[in-house]
Amino acid sequence: MNVALATYLSEFDCKLLEAGGQDWDDAVKINMLFKNLNFQLHNQSIEHPKLSTYSEFCADLHLLDNDLSQFRALQNCRGFH
């Protein structure tokens, strides 16, 4: 996944709708989404407790993605790559 998380989640939700997945169990949607996360986001989300609803999981991903973006920006400012 090399696109922005917000874009990816929007596309993922559209694919779920196309597949009739809006009524699937949240655990199924979370697992499908989890398998397709980029490496850094995937690793960070492993350390967090699994949330029970798909919407909670997506909200947590947004927070993690924001934290990672801030960390990368800080590294760049300090000259670490």
What is the number of other CB atoms lying within 10 angstroms of the CB of residue 78?
8
pLDDT tens readout for residues 49-67 = 666 799 999 998 888 888 8
pLDDT of residue 1: 47
What's the sign of the alpha-carbon dihedral 37, 40, 41, 46?
positive
Residue pair 8/15 in contact (Cβ under 8 Å)? The answer is no
pLDDT tens readout for residues 26-39 = 999 998 998 888 77
C-alpha to C-alpha distance for 8 and 42, rounded to whole angstroms: 14
Instruction: Give me the mean pLDDT over the 20-24 stretch.
Output: 93
Cα separation values, 17 from 22, 24, 31, Å: 6, 10, 16
Higher pLDDT pick, 24 / 67: 24
